Structure 1
Amino acid sequence: MYRILIVDDERIEREGIQQLIQEHHLELETLLAANGEIALEILQKHKIDILITDIKMPFMDGLELSEKVSSLGLDIEMIIFSAYHEFEYARRALRTNISNYLLKPVHIPEFLSVVSEAIQACEDKAAEKMRNEQLVEGYNRGLLYEKEKMLLDSLNGVKINTEAWMSPELLEYVQHKHWLHMILVDCRRKFFDIHNDEFIRLLHDNLSYAFDYVNLSEHQSMLFIKHPRPVPKETLRMLGDQIIRAAAGSLELNVGLVIGRAVNQPEQLYDAYTEMEQMLEFKFFMDEYTLLFADEPFEQAGFDEIELNPILDKVYQCLEYNDFTGAKYSIELLFTYLRTKGQFSSLYTKFICSEIMKKVVTREKNRETAEMNHYLEQIHKTVSLQDLKDHMFAILSLMESVSGASPKKAANLKLIRTITDVIDKEYDQDLSLEGIAERVYLTPSYLSYLFKKETGQSLIRYITQVRMDKAVELLNTTNMKIVDIYKKLGYRSSTYFIQTFRNYHGVTPARFREGSP
């Protein structure tokens, strides 16, 4: 809705125009002023789209007011109205920024025509403004795309054609106007493909430096800090810590950072990026919240066979005699050795674990071999030492479960009873495969496999079954509202609960209650 200011020293005149606007349902918000001085104060405090002003008024007349509006640079549709004997005076005003005029007494059809023209002019200006904003937005999007392409090409070693980058925003790179520090942001879970905009907002909220940003993959993004001089290392360290803390706090995201050396030419980005990628090799052995500098390389340690071989021999011996408890203990010693002896090649670390698992797989020729091969593949997909250790223990637990030992069968059944008891008692909580696995000290993948093997249905299906049975009970025996029932059953969304109920029982909860005895 547009806003109109009516200025006249006679109250009956300005209120009469206001009444005309209301009677003819013109979509205008009206403000009133008794003279030019009061009107000017209103114009300086509020956005006014249309101004109707009398010519002759005390303190400041309408023409002087129109000149003040022009001097302030206000884009307003101005209409003057005056008596017939002031007509020539009013016509001279049209040579300024007045867009139209009305004669007193106001003739209603003429008034409606003039005001409608003013409203249409406002709409035309709004449409033109929107078109201009869209053009600017499109230009900026294209510019952003070109800048991201240039940066990505530089990271991949593609030579930059200086003549192709003529805009000031891109020439700043090829003309060496500033130094760049690249910060590689690495996340172990998939994040940047969906939440990239959220992370960019976080950077704008927490960084005082100018920067550019490109998304590399669902797990990685690159930040380019721009500064006239190389940024001191301690400042970069504080900057990195701030990004890590902000991501953990507002996004609940654990990230690791690798900060590259300062460069001031696009062709230097490729070598600097290669150094940063090599540092990620060592992140495999570290916990979350890792901050590394590419110019502070770690000394890659070698395996000491005198120390390592006895540990591996113990693992193999335990496996030979089906001593899975001893094998797990020896695996624990192996990972303690890997973690405390320095930084190794993650590839060689996975190779050692794969060799252990090959011995596990080749000693079993039953129907579970395909499942074990699946776990073997997972070794090479692990992203951290802890992740690798979890997979090793999961595979050993799988071996133990299919070994045919009756005590193990009883232990599995007891474990399943523990899990079902938890679900039966805590169905109203936020249950998840990961949360339950953590409580019974198993990996989620192994728990899922074991539960399906022992019960014939998935863990998630069992949780749904318990909740759906409880939903039927509440619908049949209580007057509880459906909006309260879904919360009682541990669901966060009523829509998801209703859809699940329909899939399970064939009707919505409301229809079920109507048809229940």
Structure 2
Amino acid sequence: MVTILIADDEKLERNGIKLLLKREGAECEILEAENGKVALGILMDRKVDILFSDIKMPYMNGLELTEKARELYPNLEIIIFSGYNDFTYARDALRYGVVDYVLKPVNPKEFHKTFERVQGKIQSRIEDEEKQTRQGDYLKKYFLQNYLYKGNVEDYQQVQAYAQEMTDEKNPYIRMIIASSTNHFFETEEEHFVESLKEKLKRDFFYLNLNSNESLFLFREKYADYEELANQLNHFFQQHYDTNCYFAVSREVSGIQEMPEEFQQLEQLLEEKFYQPKQHIFVHGKKVESTEDVIVEDSEILNNISEDIKFKDITHLWQDFHRLEQKYTTDKPYSEMYAKFVFSSILKEVYEAMSSSEEKGLSKKVDQLYHCKTIQDVRSITSTAIQELENYLQEQNEGFRSEITEVKSYIYHNYEKELNVEILAEKVYLSAGYLSAIFKEATGMNLNRFIREVRMNKAKELLENSTKKITQIAREVGFSNTSYFCRSFREFFGSTPESCRKGEMDDKETEAEV
């Protein structure tokens, strides 16, 4: 709402201006002052958008008021009222930035034109300020994303320049939570949930969209229970949007300098969602709650082990094997013959996965296992076989590199299609978790980030070299939501799609490595 101050020593004149303003139908708050001194006091006490002032007033005339008002508010819109004989004074007021003057008696038509002109200037200024704020926000997010993913000193300096709240030593962001979905939730719902989430949590946070499946939340509270906060986030997304998300909670960081390393740890921690699908909260530094601590059916563990062997996922094969070992220890009751049957089944799958293994070698190992006198010996034989498999797969490492190449090639040629870790893993016959891990190891970035970079760079190419509409380009690079595409483009490159098309993007801002 616009705030208007009318300064005139004649009450009748002030009432006349109020009547004209009422006819304009503008939503505004009207303040009155009977002289320039009182008007200055009001201006010093609160912000005003438009000042209507008479030239001649006691204690402080309109020219004096105009000069002091301009010092307080450089953007204040000032309109002077004057009689014909005071025109010289009104003309002098123009050097103080008076927008216009209106001769008395006031002509309603002239007043309408003047007021309309002033409103247009105010609206234009508001739009310019909002545009600058949005551009600053996009640049802040652009440099912050680059800094989190790459940890470059240059990006850190830009974050300092564009985001003072990020480097506020008195009130720094000390905790991060990454939220991960599997249904492109942050592309379709990002516009709607941020403000309602702030209202629900009753706390402030900084929100950074990473891609259509991942977002980052930054918090300042030092003594909050962040695991419980992650549970609240999970409940919010389930209750209001019927979507399943996974959350990785950081350790406390002492400043933005520590964020890139901690961010990488959170991304790695989120990989556990592929192997612990029933668990939605992962806290860095806290032992992941696993089924070692509860009664687990052998069939569940054996099925996981079969999947690990099938997808050549040695890391989780060892984890699942150790879970099974915990069930068969000397201080727990078990059937000796059944235990040997369980471990021999693993032995068979391990040797079958090594194509060069001979059937005689497998029979010999199984026979050796069944003649074991202790469970430790049974576990040792199976463990040795898994180690052999690990060594075998390491020799086949070239195959993994070819699978990464195949995944990258598929993304390059199918960026317009729905893409996620699960879909890509099926293409190369690996588990989603294992593909995610080896892709990050090979390329230095996770798959979601890689997909986004490919799409953004293709969008930039189309903007620069075609006349296609932005809506069409968004669809062609895999975005169903044009509004989200434009926000993502600005946050990725630091410039709008329109600026890119006009060739106004800064060269430094267009750097994006894939």
- TM-score above 0.5: no
Bigger radius of gyration among the two: 1
Give the TM-score band, short-chain normalised. 0.3 to 0.5
TM-score (norm 1): 0.43
TM-score (norm 2): 0.43
